[in-house]
A and B are shown apart, each in its own frame.
Chain A
Amino acid sequence: MTTFRHAKLAVRLSLGAALAFGLATSLPAKADEQFFPLQSYRVGPYAAGGTGFFGGFIDYLNLINIRDGGVNGVKLTWDEGETQYEVERGVEVYERLKGRPGVAAWNPLSVGIAYAMIDRISKDKVPLITINHGRTDSTDGRVFPYVFPLLLNPYSETSGIVNYIATREGGSEKLKGKKIVVLYHGSPYGKETIPIYKLLADKYGFELEQIEVPHPGNEQQSQWLSIRRAKADYVVLRGWGVMNPVALKTAQKVGFPVDHIIGNVWSNSEEDVIPAGDAAKGYVAITTQASGAEYPVLQEVIKTVYGAGKGNLDDKKRIGSVYHNLGIVNGILNVEAVRIAQEKFGKRTLTGDEVRWGFEHLALDPARVEALGAKGLFHSINVTWDNHEGNGRVTFQQWDGAKWKVVSDWISPDWAALRPIIEKSSTAYAQERGIKIRTSGDDPVGQ
């Protein structure tokens, strides 16, 4: 009797073990998945940017999953870790999520976190995407094989803004003797453009003053008094988060004309101008992606994703806002990089290095952008192994009190003039760190 019982137990145990073993082994073999770890920030002073951007990114990934069943059948997955835009939290989330299978790319949307990750992702061989921001010299893919400041690096942004001011004045020779004040956010992101503004000031002969606003920037009285004292012709607002509406309101208080404040790419959202109310009417800002929900891809997001109750934004009025659209564009770029890499490596879960190859061949011409339903949302991109920015175009938009109105064509920054400066900085970095410079796109680590 007891032996029988023992035998039964043994059978049960072995069955259970087999089942558990089967489960364990079948897990990785399940459907192919590509994982996007998200170091998002939905709390803290920069939550407006975080919820909009990561909301748009997730909405687009959801669209691909629901509408197409993933990228060629490979499902897109993601997981969020809250960073509050703080470096050490970003690093913690990196360490937490990096071990997940099938990590495609990292999109931290924070220069500080991105800097902390450069060594780590280079070692782990996974791409790091810093759309519209990041470390400028990482544009040089010869030195930074895994870092992609897509669409617009800070130097291109600077060049675009200065060119725009020049057109407003009637030509770059008219910049001579003008006074431009750059009001920048006291963070790695804010400081990134200090040298390039100096350089352009020397080149065009305008007077330059760069004033820091300490993070988070909710007190700017003294800065704007200095701006008034300096009799500035233009103020470039290189802000982020709460600093932007405060700047616009303070400008109104000291009597600085709002249409002579030019916002950079992180001072260009609805969340920056609506809290400033009347003070923002007439404010101009640079952007790489238009706002509005009239583009086909956004209509599909509204119909397919929000229709299914899977939309990520709590406030549906924010669909089509600048940050949400940036998240959508970021989603398009990530997904297309995966798709392009799948063409080469097969329609399966890719390694980070394979996705890196995809990003290095991410060429979306206006026709392809239109096919993706994003015509007019952004212009085009052409990333190569040594140009990780991909020559994104910019446009300028003006706030009319209710919405952004585009007031310029798609403008090209002065890439040819910027490239030598970028290469100087990146080769210096390569020397300092003993990195061998790549000579072709085939060898990611330059060995």
Chain B
Amino acid sequence: MTTISEAAPTPARSSLLNANVLGIVLLLVLAYGLVPLIGSDYLMDAVLTPFLALALAAVGLNVLTGYAGQVSLGSAAFLAVGAYAAYNLNLRLPQLPLLADIVLAGGIAAAVGIIFGLPSLRLRGFYLAVSTLAAQFFVQWALTKFGWFSNDNASGVIDAPVIRVGSLTFTSATGRYVFSLTIVAVATVLTARLLSSQTGRNFIAVRDHEIAARVIGVPLLRTKLLAFGVSSFLIGVAGVLWAFAYLRTVEPAGFNLDRSFQILFIIIIGGLASLRGAFIGAAFIIVFPLLLSRLGAAVLGSVFDSGVLEMSQRIVIGALIIAFLIAEPRGLIALVDRAANVLRRLRSSQT
């Protein structure tokens, strides 16, 4: 029985899988081969590296919110935990390699995430979102209050160390970009594996109907806390990238509530419960305003000052967000899929 039901869809799935794998491989070849070759420092340092960091954070939040259905407004706090944990591990345990620092920093973020995930056992929806605000405020407060976290630096700002793996140092724009790309690629693949396993199905079961999930034997406590843990781990690693590879300095105020909202908007606009959606959403929220800003400055820079341009960009982006969400409430990724389907149908009708 099981063999039949599993055997039947295999041919279709494998061709689809191949197309997907092919696409991903192509994308990686482009990202590793072409971008460092022809991209400018600006593209890699100021556009792609922050894009990668926040895309990873969005993947993390998507695990929690998109797949497991737990709304969180504490993402920026977990970014901060990751960044500060990696900084302190690197500072206080210099014998550890940086990669270990990053993984441990993710682990610390996961532990903090699990603690703040405990209310999810009792609270749902908006109430849970509000309770995760506690993480947001508590972490920022703790990082400012206790000078130990920033090594008693007078301003509370930390200087990120140079990224070094073994004998390799990543000091150039290309280096930092490739480093971020590698971490994000590996983390995304691992997340995709996790989501296609039984654990991933448990997440979705909890999201779709908690009581039903419980009835069929999904352990609620473990699943929810696991979702918080995995999500915070990813966001913590993203925080390390944001601090070490992109800004190369950190202040707690950079991880405020606005950042949490930004990550939440990335997954809502990109598409909930979709890893590709996290990347497309991050592109829309991070890269698109930059393009618009540069376009505005190039075309109208001599007419208006930068303040006016900035305000008009916000209006444009706000209007686009509304337009996109009306056209496709399931996010940009659904638009992309629809377009792909249309193309596929056109192609099959030709043949």
- A interface residues, Cβ below 8 angstroms from B: 40, 42-43, 47, 51, 79-82, 84, 86-88, 91-92, 94-96, 99, 111-112, 115-116, 118-120, 135-136, 186-189, 191-195, 212, 215, 312, 425, 433
**A91 adjacent to B247 (CB under 8 Å):** yes
> Which residues of chain B (294-349) have a CB below 8 Å from chain A?
294, 297, 301, 305-311
Cα separation A118 to B249 with both chains bound (whole Å): 10
B82 at the interface (CB under 8 A from A): no
**A80 adjacent to B306 (CB under 8 Å):** yes
Contact of A95 with B42 at beta-carbon distance under 8 Å, contacts A47-B307, A88-B254, A112-B253 already known: yes
Of the A-B pairs whose beta carbons lie under 8 Å apart in the complex, a sample of 26, sorted by A's number, is A42-B305, A42-B308, A43-B307, A79-B297, A80-B305, A81-B293, A81-B306, A87-B249, A87-B254, A91-B247, A92-B47, A94-B46, A95-B46, A96-B294, A115-B155, A115-B157, A119-B248, A187-B251, A187-B253, A188-B157, A188-B253, A191-B156, A193-B154, A194-B154, A312-B305, A433-B159
- B interface residues, Cβ below 8 angstroms from A: 40-42, 45-47, 50, 144, 154-157, 159, 246-249, 251, 253-254, 290, 293-294, 297, 301, 305-311
Contact of A87 with B247 at beta-carbon distance under 8 Å, contacts A95-B42, A187-B253 already known: yes
**B247 adjacent to A88 (CB under 8 Å):** yes
Residues of B within 8 Å of A80, CB to CB, are 301, 305-306
Cα separation A88 to B246 with both chains bound (whole Å): 9
**A192 adjacent to B310 (CB under 8 Å):** no
**A116 adjacent to B310 (CB under 8 Å):** no
Minimum CB–CB distance for B241 against chain A, Å: 13
**B41 adjacent to A42 (CB under 8 Å):** no
Cα separation A425 to B40 with both chains bound (whole Å): 36
Contact of A96 with B46 at beta-carbon distance under 8 Å, contacts A80-B305, A212-B144 already known: yes
Nearest residue, chain B, Cβ from A123: B171
Which of B50, B144, B310 sits near A186, CB closer than 8 Å? B144
Contact of A82 with B306 at beta-carbon distance under 8 Å, contacts A115-B249, A191-B156 already known: yes
**Supplied contacts A116-B248, A187-B253, A192-B154, 13 more A-B pairs, CB within 8 Å:** A42-B305, A42-B308, A42-B310, A86-B254, A88-B50, A92-B47, A95-B41, A99-B40, A115-B159, A135-B155, A188-B155, A215-B253, A425-B154
**A195 adjacent to B154 (CB under 8 Å):** yes
Residues of A within 8 Å of B309, CB to CB, are 82
**B155 adjacent to A82 (CB under 8 Å):** no
**A42 adjacent to B42 (CB under 8 Å):** no
**A51 adjacent to B251 (CB under 8 Å):** no
**A116 adjacent to B247 (CB under 8 Å):** yes
Q: What are the 7 closest A-B residue pairs judged by CB atoms, nearest first?
A: A42-B307, A95-B46, A188-B155, A82-B306, A116-B249, A80-B306, A82-B310
**A91 adjacent to B46 (CB under 8 Å):** yes
Nearest residue, chain B, Cβ from A96: B42
**A51 adjacent to B155 (CB under 8 Å):** no
Residues of B within 8 Å of A136, CB to CB, are 154
Cα separation A188 to B293 with both chains bound (whole Å): 27
Nearest residue, chain A, Cβ from B311: A43
**B154 adjacent to A92 (CB under 8 Å):** no
Residues of B within 8 Å of A118, CB to CB, are 159
**A99 adjacent to B251 (CB under 8 Å):** no
Residues of B within 8 Å of A186, CB to CB, are 144, 253
Residues of A within 8 Å of B297, CB to CB, are 79, 81
Nearest residue, chain A, Cβ from B158: A115
Residues of A within 8 Å of B294, CB to CB, are 96
Which of A43, A95, A119 sits near B45, CB closer than 8 Å? A95
Nearest residue, chain A, Cβ from B155: A188
**B155 adjacent to A192 (CB under 8 Å):** yes
**A91 adjacent to B155 (CB under 8 Å):** no
**B155 adjacent to A111 (CB under 8 Å):** yes
Minimum CB–CB distance for A188 against chain B, Å: 4
Minimum CB–CB distance for B176 against chain A, Å: 11
Residues of B within 8 Å of A96, CB to CB, are 42, 46, 294
Nearest residue, chain A, Cβ from B256: A215
B246, B249, B297, B308: residue with the most chain A Cβ atoms closer than 10 Å: B249
Minimum CB–CB distance for A6 against chain B, Å: 33
**B159 adjacent to A119 (CB under 8 Å):** yes
Cα separation A296 to B328 with both chains bound (whole Å): 61
Cα separation A118 to B50 with both chains bound (whole Å): 19
Which of B41, B46, B50, B156 sits near A188, CB closer than 8 Å? B156
Residues of B within 8 Å of A51, CB to CB, are 307
Residues of B within 8 Å of A188, CB to CB, are 155-157, 251, 253
Residues of A within 8 Å of B246, CB to CB, are 88, 91
Residues of A within 8 Å of B311, CB to CB, are 43
Nearest residue, chain A, Cβ from B137: A214
Residues of A within 8 Å of B46, CB to CB, are 91-92, 94-96
Residues of B within 8 Å of A81, CB to CB, are 293, 297, 306
**A92 adjacent to B307 (CB under 8 Å):** no
Nearest residue, chain B, Cβ from A215: B253
Nearest residue, chain A, Cβ from B44: A95
Minimum CB–CB distance for B191 against chain A, Å: 25
Cα separation A194 to B155 with both chains bound (whole Å): 8
Cα separation A193 to B40 with both chains bound (whole Å): 39
Cα separation A92 to B247 with both chains bound (whole Å): 9
Residues of A within 8 Å of B249, CB to CB, are 87, 115-116, 119
Nearest residue, chain B, Cβ from A93: B46
Residues of A within 8 Å of B301, CB to CB, are 79-80
